[in-house]
Amino acid sequence: MSEIELKRNVIKTGSEKRIILRFILASLVGVFMFFVPVTINGASSIMIDHIVSWVRASVPGVVPYYALLVMVMGAIYPFYTKKWNASLVDICFSILKVVGVVFGVLYCFKVGPAWFFAPDVGPFLYEKLVISVSLLVPIGSAFLALLVGYGLLEFIGTFCRPIMRPLWKTPGRSAIDAVASFVGSYSLALLITNRVYKEGKYTTKEAAIIATGFSTVSATFMIIIAKTLDIMHLWNVYFWTTLVVTFIVTAITVRIPPLSRKPDTYVTEEGFPEPVYKEKMLERAWEDALEVSKSAPSIIKNIAVNLKDGFIMTMGILPSIMSVGLIGIILAKFTPIF
Domain coordinates in residue numbering, the chain: 47-150+298-337, 151-295
* Residues 222-277: tens digit of each pLDDT: 766 776 677 867 877 887 898 889 989 999 999 999 999 999 999 887 888 887 77
Cis omega (within 30 of 0) on the bond before 275? Answer: no
Q: How far apart are CA 184 and CA 186, in angstroms?
A: 7
Residue pair 92/320 in contact by the 8 Å Cβ criterion: no
Q: How far apart are CA 134 and CA 97, in angstroms?
A: 15
Residue 131 confidence (pLDDT): 93
Residue pair 159/281 in contact by the 8 Å Cβ criterion: yes
b/e sequence 79-105, b meaning 16+ C-beta within 10 Å: eeeeebeeeeeeeebbebbbbbbbbbe
With 0.85 as the threshold, say if the pTM is over it. no
Residues of the chain with pLDDT under 70: 1-14, 182-185, 219-221, 223-224, 227-228, 232
* Burial category of 277 from C-beta neighbours within 10 Å (exposed 0-12, middle 13-18, buried 19 and up): middle
* Burial category of 127 from C-beta neighbours within 10 Å (exposed 0-12, middle 13-18, buried 19 and up): middle
Residue 1 confidence (pLDDT): 44
* Residues 298-334: tens digit of each pLDDT: 889 988 988 888 898 899 989 999 999 999 999 998 8
Residue 137 confidence (pLDDT): 84
Tally of CB atoms within 10 A around 121: 21
Residue 156 confidence (pLDDT): 86
Residue 12 confidence (pLDDT): 52
Residue 59 confidence (pLDDT): 95
